[in-house]
Amino acid sequence: MTYTSVWIAFAFVLIALLLSLWQRIGLEKEIAIGAVRCTLQLLAIGYVLQFVFHTDSLLFILLMIAMMIAVASWNAASKGKKLRGIFWRIALSLAMTELLTMGLLVALGLVSPTPQYLIPMSGMIIGSSMIVCSLFLSHMNREVETSRGEIETLLCLGATTRQAVQAVRKRAVKASMIPTFDTMKTMGLVQLPGTMTGMIIAGASPIEAVRYQILIMLSFSSATAVSAVLISTLSYRLWFTRDAMLHP
Amino acid sequence: MHSVMEIESLGKKVLSAASTWLFHDLNAIISEPAMIGILGKSGQGKSTLLRILGRLLPPDSGTIRLNKKEMTQWDSCAWRMKVSYVAQQAIMLPGTVEDNLRTVSVLHQRPFDQKLARALCEQLHLEQVDWSKSAEQLSGGEKQRLALIRTLLLQPDVLLLDEVTASLDTASKQAAQQLLVDLHTRTGTTILWVTHDLEEARSSCQRIWFMADHQLQADLPSHSFFQSPPTIQARDFLQSAHAHAAREVHS
């Protein structure tokens, strides 16, 4: 594909802009910013990836993964702005999830330890775990608010913060994991996932593309569970004061 | 002299950042186990005081000591096992009546005192309630009594009761009152009881704390408070409460 084709593809953005103007939706700025940012970010990452693939250096691979974890943590932490120290807890959860999942994929010989595999797959694992962390924080915020009475009742009976928030935490973990497993149930019937589609467009055989997609989806299941349990374990205390009272 | 609890210059602001005090400079000593009725108009901070004592809210000033040891030096769980708060709105924990009754034994890995639980249920007229029933299915009054029993099974030294009899019918209210008086007499549990029922306070409590004008205006033996209210606000409060009670009886 040439750059000319990419420029021509901006016609789609033009359609969105014209519709927004005609229907007075008022999203022209968002559409323009979204399109420009998406293009620039993808172009930049394309060049970065090309450089990393060529150098084949472990340091650059680790730097790329660290950057992904930092951006994902910053993004997920926006769901827990009131929670002090949530960024580092998310970062730790994502790093541990990545280490465990990628470590297993490489150790079991399922993917070869080259930048071509490590970076895109890490991106997908970190991305899906980021969504799980965001969902956990949203659900936990809501659950703690609606279950204040339940938590305080348990505190009044001498429960530790861990005991008092246990049921609430379990509900939030469950709610943050459900979307991944729901997606898995309809995979191939409702959605044709990105990796598979991309590989087919790039000329791979559909069967090979499907095999990779299965590998990715199955590794997502463990990444989802690991990140949800980790972030809940590392963060539940943040809803309490040092004195073990619920924050107002 | 040994004292159960000492409250020194305690204050709570309406909002943490605001300069308006809900109450301030509150001083009191509970020198021996007692039943204390906390009276006052709505909005004087009675429930907030109990929530601070139960370590559910932080004070904005002052100190509280239990058995001569400052609140901050206590582990929060240990404090709450000694000083337990029962809310006006009874909250049932997920599960059955029995699950709720067993909460304390599960939390603290103690054997469940079924005999005591049955005796308390009987005293509060809950002997007919099926323990396998979902706690959420109980009526408001039953929930309130179950919440009280759940806390009594913890056997705290100080019980903080926030209008716990407000939603009960007359018979259940009297049973609860009798149970609390018996508990205090038998075990020496100190009970701080926020109530709007003057008769309940007069007949059950040895002392009265009266809150008005952002302060603890009176800490007197119950008979003294009711016979000769010490301030104009206390006199007005008793008069309007009596008038209200008379209107209710009349209607």
The amino acid at B175: A
Domain enclosing residue A105, as ranges = 58-239
By Cβ distance, the residue of B57, B85, B108 closest to A156 is: B85
User: Residue A248 domain-assigned?
Assistant: no
User: Residue A246 domain-assigned?
Assistant: no
Residues A31 and A67 in one domain: no
The C-alpha atoms of residue B160 and residue B194 are separated, in whole angstroms, by 8
pLDDT at A196 over 90: no
Residues A114 and A33 in one domain: no
Q: Per the structure, how many domains does chain A have? A: 2
Amino acid B17: pLDDT: 64
What is the pTM assigned to this prediction? Answer: 0.86
Chain B hits for A245, CB-CB cut-off 8 Å, are 55-58, 76
Extract the tokens encoding A245: 């009272």
Q: Per the structure, how many domains does chain B have? A: 1
Chain B hits for A152, CB-CB cut-off 8 Å, are 56, 87, 91
User: What confidence tens digit (pLDDT) does each residue in A153-192 have?
Assistant: 999 999 999 999 999 999 999 999 999 888 888 887 777 7
Residues A70 and A18 in one domain: no
pLDDT at A50 over 60: yes
Domain enclosing residue B42, as ranges = 5-87+157-249
Amino acid B16: pLDDT: 64
**How are strands ordered across the β-sheet holding B158-162?**
B83-86, B158-162, B190-194, B35-39, B207-212, B215-221
- The alpha carbon of residue A82 is apart from the nearest alpha carbon of chain B, in Å, by 16
Amino acid A186: pLDDT: 83
Considering only CA atoms, which of A151, A176, A190, A157 is closest in space to residue A230? Answer: A176
Residues A121 and A187 in one domain: yes
Amino acid A198: pLDDT: 83
Residues A22 and A4 in one domain: yes
Amino acid A199: pLDDT: 84
Residues A20 and A101 in one domain: no
Amino acid A2: pLDDT: 83
Task: Using 50 as the pLDDT threshold, list the residues of chain B that sit under it.
Answer: none
Chain A hits for B55, CB-CB cut-off 8 Å, are 155, 243-245
User: Residue B163 domain-assigned?
Assistant: yes
User: What confidence tens digit (pLDDT) does each residue in A98-153 have?
Assistant: 999 999 999 999 988 888 889 989 999 999 999 999 999 999 999 999 999 999 99
pLDDT at A11 over 80: yes
Residues A16 and A79 in one domain: no
The C-alpha atoms of residue B61 and residue B75 are separated, in whole angstroms, by 20
User: Residue B61 domain-assigned?
Assistant: yes
User: Residue A105 domain-assigned?
Assistant: yes
Using the Cβ of A160 and the Cβ atoms of chain B, whether some distance falls under 8 Å is answered with yes
pLDDT at A193 over 90: no
Task: Give the torsion sign (CA, B240, B246, B249, B251).
Answer: negative
User: Residue B133 domain-assigned?
Assistant: no
